[in-house]
Structure 1
């Protein structure tokens, strides 16, 4: 009887060991040569199957971390993540490549893709196809994108990616400046005059050659006037007049409206016109003049158009 129990125990242990061995080896893929994995990844990406490309590149990195294709696979993985709309993974892959290969010949590409990933992450689906003002949203991704592009342009000015990075930097600069004006306008409406003046001064000092500089000077003039700093207010107005002679000076404070204007939802009566921060260009090729023409076209609405809510005109 004792012998039977011992034999049964040995058989049970053998069966359990066999099950464990088969289960462990069931999920293990056969060894695939490094070159084959790399070629499969490139082929999948050429066919537009970037998800499969990511899978093959990840497997290549896991199997051959120090192989002949490892560095190039890391660069390809950045782009594959970018095309599969995984901005966080793409940014992390770019940071990893920059950290591991600071002297690589294609390090400029890693910086460019890092900036481009943040740039596209900031431009959501709604802002691309609907007339939403993205300058009022959190500018964190825009700052990250600008910093990456700035590093690329400063360190590698001869890079083939530098010209496009410079164009995107100008767009981002306009956007960040306009965001500061929105914040300053918020402070103006809350009568936080010094906070608004500091925001306006920050735009003037850090975002020169952007349309928002004129708004920054106007905010400085109005805010300094409110707190009695007439010398600073006069200086801001003098600079504004000399550099932007056609600028229409309007108040950035909360506007006041008559009772008739409020009762008729703005159709009748008088209302104080409040300044609106200038928006940055919505595309890299749109000029400031074209943007102003669009804004003027929106403002020129007839009385009949207002009454019918734009249905018949």
Structure 2
């Protein structure tokens, strides 16, 4: 009996000790006043200590969700995430602020930060300093940035952030138009001429005054000729000749032919990578159901390439 009581007392002491050891995490952060916590977050932002600013703003929002600095802290948190290179968190915080405070007097800043975050996310380190073709990259972040800046200019044209947003939209339009041409070229190489013609027409109608316009017209010419639509091809050719008389047009199916390609009958060429699906900024008309779908090709083995496909 005494032995069982001793074991019971030891177990109770052990439980109390365990609670004191593992239950102290809630008191790690001091219970600071709201104003002091907000001022520390601002000081961290001004000094460039963005991880500390994120920590302080998150703690402020968690402990004082209805305080007088709550709305401003949510807005500052978007900027802190952006400067701390957390684009997904910044965009999520911007969406949350826009949803919770649609009539806030600084909501234009939230739209601007959302667009700026996606803009910088689209321009990665490699695209900034290396000669990489952006037209072949997924334009998801560019679309998000364009939509945010477009909403900012549409709803708040007098915003102090509107001029910078408008300048960035010019770059984004050129980027999106170049991607559409990249997709159209891929469709032509696969024989999907209806889809290619629609992509070219989309650029001409929805993304005017971009450097990709002559390429879009050339895509339309080649696609309409392949579809045996001479009137549409002649119309596109007339527009191309009238507006871009010095444009040198070369059929996409015949471009980039090298001596090595001719010697190997293109058997050793790498297949172009399929572009990511994109519906563009505006709603695109559905493609014709009569268009033949491009059949996927099986990857060729090293033996097949070395023997020029003779034993396939």
Aligned-residue offset at 1:258: 7.7
Secondary structure of the structure 2 residue equivalent to 1:157: coil
Number of the residue aligned with 2:161: 161
Name the structure 1 match of 2:240. 240
C-alpha distance in structure 2 between counterparts of 1:97 and 1:22, whole Å: 38
User: Where do 5+ consecutive residues of structure 2 fail to align?
Assistant: 264-312
TM-score for the superposition, normalised by structure 1: 0.79
Distance 2:95 2:215 in 1: 37
What is the CA–CA distance in structure 2 between the aligned matches of 1:261 and 1:174, rounded to whole Å? 31
What does residue 16 of structure 2 align with? 17
Secondary structure of 2:48's aligned partner: coil
Q: Is the counterpart of residue 188 in structure 1 residue 193 in structure 2?
A: no
Distance 1:258 1:84, change over 3 A: closer
In structure 2, what is the Cα distance between the partners aligned to 1:123 and 1:256? 27
Using the alignment, how far apart are the partners of 2:24 and 2:129 within structure 1?
50
The residue number in structure 1 matching 2:222 is 222
The SS at the match of 2:32 is coil
- Of 249-258 and 41-50, more deviation after overlay is shown by 249-258
Q: Write out per-residue CA displacement over residues 28-67 of structure 1, whole angstroms, 9 at most, x where no aligned residue.
A: 2231111111111111121111001111111111111111
- 2:60 is aligned to 60
> TM-score, normalising length from structure 2?
0.79
| Mapped contact 1:189–1:254 kept (Cα < 8 A) | no
Match of 1:307 in 2: none
1:98 alignment partner in structure 2: 98
In the alignment, the residues of structure 1 paired with residue 163 and residue 189 of structure 2 have an alpha-carbon distance, to the nearest angstrom, of: 40
* Distance apart, 1:186 and its partner CA: 1.5
Deviates more, 1:123-132 or 1:244-253: 244-253
Q: Distance in 2 between matches of 1:5 and 1:187?
A: 82
Which secondary structure state, in structure 2, belongs to the residue aligned with residue 78 of structure 1?
A: helix
CA RMSD of aligned residues (A): 2.1
Shift in CA distance, 136/257, structure 1 to aligned 2, threshold 3 Å = closer
CA distance in 1, matches of 2:10, 2:166: 72
2:138 and 2:257 map into 1 onto residues whose CA distance is: 31
Q: Deviations over 1:255-310 (max 9, x none)?
A: 385868856xxxxxxxxxxxxxxxxxxxxxxxxxxxxxxxxxxxxxxxxxxxxxxx
How far apart, CA to CA, are the structure 2 residues paired with 1:130 and 1:256? Answer: 22
Other structure's SS at 2:163 match: helix
